[in-house]
């Protein structure tokens, strides 16, 4: 996040808000501040002001994640990987609740899912127990920070769903993450990266609601703002839960992500030793199912986290999946 904290006086500076007391307007980068802003120590001292780390998915955000994420991504990755002609081994970074990984294992695709959130992985472990016994061994769950990842083995496919890549805010971080991916890919291995694009407005607001069995109504409110200059977007997610029509304590969290266009992602991949294969918007491929074939458990695929891609609003949110292959060392 673009929030910095002083380890001495605990002064905090938020780049999106600025500092009214000291006359700093919103969206002034921390690196541009004069030395007198820090209330007590004047921002003096090497390494004293540290960036506040990203918050792990926990609590109600983990508990309600699946309620709003939908099935589109699950179906997309399953169908794409099942069509691969050669044997597949999958590494999913940001496996979360195991939505995609458990489906892959159920379809005889070996997958290793990595996440740093104990709350999310607890849900994923419960899903693993529901996978058919003969397929359960195909799903491995690892609690680890992606930035420290070194599994000492390689995979034919690495997937980063639901905007995980955009948690790398700077170009330096993005290149570092791509190098971690390369280390875990076989020669000519394939990477798939979901890119979330918020509504095309400076500020935006979306709201969804979901009845959660047996007696809860949950409202998910997302309020965000986009900075084209900083190439970032930030959103506040609020869960309002009603139990038997009585409001429960709210859950609120802020997150920041890099604003990346698909073309930028493609150029970044090419600069780091990948070559583009294809890209899909909102998980739409040339694989379509007829709606006249009776019941289809994959028919209803709407959803998306933290916001649903718009099908009617041209200025609404969307997402892209960029697929690229690791270049051979002989190329």
Q: Of the residues 257, 274, 295, which one is the last residue of a structural domain?
A: 257
pLDDT tens digits, residue range 33-76?
766 567 666 655 556 778 888 889 999 999 999 999 988 899 99
Residues 107 and 152 in one domain: yes
Rounded Cα distance, 184 and 215, in Å: 44
Residues 170 and 312 in one domain: yes
Rounded Cα distance, 297 and 143, in Å: 31
Cβ atoms of 68 and 208 closer than 8 Å = yes
Quick check: is 62 in a domain? no
pLDDT of residue 259: 96
pLDDT tens digits, residue range 202-251?
999 999 999 887 889 999 999 999 999 889 999 999 999 999 888 899 99
Quick check: is 6 in a domain? yes
Q: Is the pLDDT of residue 196 over 90?
A: yes
* Residues 7-17, mean pLDDT to the nearest whole number: 84
pLDDT of residue 47: 63
The enclosing domain of 116 has a CATH number of 3.40.50.150
Cβ atoms of 246 and 226 closer than 8 Å = no
pLDDT of residue 34: 65
Quick check: is 124 in a domain? yes
Residues 235 and 310 in one domain: no
Residues 84 and 186 in one domain: yes
Question: Among the residues of the chain, which ranges form H helices?
Answer: 59-63, 65-69, 72-82, 99-106, 118-130, 171-183, 262-271
Residues 46 and 190 in one domain: no
Quick check: is 331 in a domain? no
By DSSP bridging, strand 49-51 and strand 12-14 are: unpaired
Q: Is the pLDDT of residue 311 over 70?
A: no
pLDDT of residue 60: 93
Residues 40 and 96 in one domain: no
Residues 321 and 176 in one domain: yes
Domain range for 22 is 1-53
pLDDT of residue 289: 43
Quick check: is 298 in a domain? no
Rounded Cα distance, 160 and 113, in Å: 10
pLDDT of residue 294: 47
Structure token pair of residue 134? 């003969």
Q: Of the residues 11, 29, 53, which one is the last residue of a structural domain?
A: 53
Q: How many domains does the chain have?
A: 3
The enclosing domain of 209 has a CATH number of 2.20.25
Q: Who wins on pLDDT, 1 or 143?
A: 143
Residues 145 and 5 in one domain: no
Residues 47 and 137 in one domain: no
Name residue, tokens 């790398």: 168
pLDDT of residue 291: 39
Q: How far is CA 196 from CA 1, 165, 262, in A?
A: 17, 10, 10
Residues 151 and 229 in one domain: no
pLDDT tens digits, residue range 87-136?
999 999 999 999 999 999 999 999 999 999 999 999 999 999 999 999 99
Residues 104 and 24 in one domain: no
Residues 191 and 318 in one domain: yes
The enclosing domain of 31 has a CATH number of 2.20.28.10
pLDDT of residue 322: 97
């Amino acid at each position: 996040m673009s929030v910095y904290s002083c380890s001495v006086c605990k002064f905090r500076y938020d780049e999106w808000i600025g500092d009214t007391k000291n006359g700093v307007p919103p969206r002034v980068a921390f690196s541009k501040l004069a030395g007198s802003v820090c209330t007590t120590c004047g921002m003096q001292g090497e390494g004293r002001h540290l960036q506040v780390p990203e918050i792990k998915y926990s609590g109600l955000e983990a508990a309600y994640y699946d309620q709003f994420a939908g099935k589109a991504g699950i179906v997309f990755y399953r169908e794409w990987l099942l069509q691969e002609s050669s044997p597949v081994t999958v590494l999913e970074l940001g496996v979360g609740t195991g939505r995609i990984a458990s489906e892959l294992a159920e379809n005889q695709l070996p997958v290793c899912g990595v996440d740093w959130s104990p709350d999310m992985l607890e849900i994923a472990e419960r899903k693993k127990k529901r996978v058919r016994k003969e397929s359960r061994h195909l799903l491995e769950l690892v609690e680890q920070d992606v930035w420290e990842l070194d599994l000492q083995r390689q995979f034919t496919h690495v997937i980063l769903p639901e905007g995980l890549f955009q948690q790398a805010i700077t170009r330096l971080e993005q290149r570092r993450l791509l190098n971690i991916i390369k280390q875990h890919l076989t020669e000519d291995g394939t990477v798939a990266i979901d890119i979330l694009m918020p509504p095309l407005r400076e500020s935006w607001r979306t709201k969804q609601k979901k009845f959660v069995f047996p007696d809860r109504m949950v409202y998910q409110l997302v309020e965000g703002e986009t900075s084209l200059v900083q190439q970032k977007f930030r959103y506040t997610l609020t869960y309002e839960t009603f139990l038997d029509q009585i409001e429960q304590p709210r859950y609120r969290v802020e997150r920041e992500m890099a604003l990346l266009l698909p073309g930028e992602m493609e150029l970044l991949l090419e600069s780091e030793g990948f070559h583009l294969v294809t890209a899909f918007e909102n998980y739409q491929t040339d694989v379509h199912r007829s709606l006249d074939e009776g019941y289809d458990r994959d028919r209803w695929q709407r959803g998306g986290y933290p916001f649903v891609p718009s099908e009617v609003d041209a200025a609404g949110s969307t997402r892209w999946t960029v697929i690229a292959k690791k270049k051979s060392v002989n190329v």
